[in-house]
Structure 1
Amino acid sequence: MGHKKRKTTENSVGVGTPALMQLEEAGISFTIYTYKHDTLHETEGFGLEGAAQIDKDPNSMYKTLLVDIGERPGHDLVTAVVPVTCHLNLKQLAATVGVKKAQMADPDVAQKQTGYVVGGISPLGQKMKHVTVLDESMLNFEEVLISGGRRGLSVGVSPLELQELLGAKIAPIAAQGSHPL
């Protein structure tokens, strides 16, 4: 377990996930953090497990969730990124993207749309591009950790560079209280 600072396009972890490739192609500096995933911690949430192992403030670690906002399930999706210490406020997310209702996307749909497994979904390098909303709490940190595209792999990035790269909206979409979603 550890971390490596990346500023070049050389693949130093041997895993060229689409998320890492997108950061490299954009020339954005990032730090790779790895940890050992333990299935016994899945009820706590992957992010809390990772924050403990890499000795990072869990408030600076973010999870990526796919949310269904359409009339037909699985057709209109939004990517939401909130702290691992919080859960997603679906009503606030719906208001942010201008719809009446939002619900969590089916995990199979999320995996198919992003190309990642649940617990390793990154807002970067998704197979299908979605509107992305980042929780405003990101702006409290110089570096935030997001999924690098697989379980046990997190990437530390500047929240402003992440917002710019994704063309993301920033809004208050997190609600207090840890939740495994």
Structure 2
Amino acid sequence: MSTGTPATQMLKKAKVAFRTHEYDFVAGQHQIGLHAAEAVGLPPERVLKTLMIEVDGKPACAVIPSDASLSMKRVAAALGGKSAAMMDTAKAERLTGYHKGGISPFGQRKRCPTVIEQAALAHEEVVINGGKRGLMVMLSPKDAVEVIGATVAGVCAEE
């Protein structure tokens, strides 16, 4: 299968139902998640972006709608920490085994605590990166939470 990645392999091994969506990834996009939402033809609140962060200096992952911003204060609290910051791109790529624009919360090289925005669970299906640029997986957000053992919390910044 040409779309086999550690992410899709993890989902298959866990017997999670999912479908893949491929699109033409355009390098240099400022907001990769919004580009992906437009490319797959879904509203941005159903296309979730994966952000690698550090909470109290330790690696963590946040999965939020592509049109939202992450609240560092809320994500730190959700993961039991005091402070959070975005992880350096090179470090995120080394830690996950994926490239920027293709980072998935599934099948990461080194598993880390993950939080998924609670609003995502209002949808029957969401789309999350499948482990390479231009590959998305569509699945139940509840399955996503279960397979990665994610915390569910309101971690988006209020607009």
The normalised TM-score by structure 2 is: 0.95
Cα distance in 2, alignment partners of residues 153 and 104 from structure 1 = 23
Cα distance in 2, alignment partners of residues 118 and 53 from structure 1 = 17
Q: Which residue of 1 aligns with 2:45?
A: 59
Q: Contact (CA 8 Å) 2:7, 2:131: kept in 1 or not?
A: yes
Q: Which residue of 2 aligns with 1:3?
A: none
Following TM superposition, by how much is the alpha carbon of 1:176 offset from its aligned partner in structure 2, in angstroms? 4.8
Q: Contact (CA 8 Å) 1:30, 1:155: kept in 2 or not?
A: yes
In the alignment, residue 163 of structure 1 is paired with which amino acid?
Answer: V
Identify which of 107, 111, 117 aligns with 1:125. 107
Structure 1 position 170 matched with structure 2 position 152: yes
Cα distance in 1, alignment partners of residues 158 and 67 from structure 2 = 7
CA 1:131–1:58: 2 relative to 1, 3 Å: same
Q: Where does structure 1 differ by over 3 angstroms across 4 or more consecutive aligned residues?
A: none
Structure 1 position 39 matched with structure 2 position 21: no
Following TM superposition, by how much is the alpha carbon of 1:15 offset from its aligned partner in structure 2, in angstroms? 2.5
Cα distance in 2, alignment partners of residues 50 and 98 from structure 1 = 31
SS in 1 for 2:144: helix
Cα distance in 1, alignment partners of residues 150 and 40 from structure 2 = 27
In the alignment, residue 39 of structure 1 is paired with which amino acid?
Answer: A
Q: Which residue of 1 aligns with 2:140?
A: 158
Using the aligned pairs only, state the percent identity: 36
The normalised TM-score by structure 1 is: 0.84
Structure 1 position 83 matched with structure 2 position 59: no
In structure 2, list runs of 5 or more residues that go unmatched: none
Structure 1 position 136 matched with structure 2 position 118: yes
Cα RMSD after superposing both structures:
1.2
Q: Contact (CA 8 Å) 1:46, 1:151: kept in 2 or not?
A: no
Cα distance in 1, alignment partners of residues 40 and 55 from structure 2 = 34
> Which of 1 and 2 has greater Rg?
1
